[in-house]
């Protein structure tokens, strides 16, 4: 594990996004709250939050970090037949929260898949990526033109 002892505590923020594509019928069932396992978007939101808090247990050598805020939003994009997922994670600490935001998006997508697999096994979780980060020695990062967030 990397020694972060000499680092200064600063506000750390990371935002990640991704999506899960599904058949139009699956998207409709999610929107109508007709999936047998329950409210897909709310369950996936909670799973994303819970996973952000446990990232240090899931990824080897990742520091366990006391988080000060986690927001996970899921929205239906009917035109693209997908669920858009965004996670923002915050802390005041010595290391960043990029892995926590990426984990939250990934696990939220996996939760959607798990809850809907009985009706759609062709779903695809994709484009999980860091959008921005704030804080730390390396400063701010915002996804640039070459990796433009235009999907």
CA-based nearest residue to 55, from 126, 107, 121: 107
Q: What sign does the dihedral 45-46-48-49 (CA atoms) show?
A: positive
The count of C-alpha atoms lying within 13 angstroms of the C-alpha of 97, restricted to the half-sphere facing its C-beta, is: 33
The residues annotated with a catalytic role in the active site are 114
Rounded Cα distance, 81 and 34, in Å: 17
Facing residues of 141 across strands?
A: 133
């Amino acid at each position: 594990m990397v020694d972060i002892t000499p680092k200064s505590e600063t506000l750390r923020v990371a935002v990640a996004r991704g999506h899960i594509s599904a058949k139009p019928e699956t998207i409709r069932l999610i929107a109508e709250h007709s999936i047998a396992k329950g409210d897909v978007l709310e369950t996936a939101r909670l799973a994303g939050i819970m996973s952000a808090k446990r990232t240090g247990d899931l990824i080897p050598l990742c520091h366990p970090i006391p988080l000060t805020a986690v927001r996970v939003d899921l929205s239906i994009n009917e035109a693209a037949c997908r669920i858009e997922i965004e996670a923002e994670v915050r802390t005041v600490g010595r290391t960043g929260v990029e892995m926590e935001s990426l984990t939250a998006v990934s696990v939220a997508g996996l939760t959607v898949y798990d809850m809907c697999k009985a009706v759609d096994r062709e779903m695809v979780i994709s484009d999980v990526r860091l959008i921005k980060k704030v804080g730390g020695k390396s400063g701010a990062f915002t996804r640039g033109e070459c990796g433009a967030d235009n999907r």
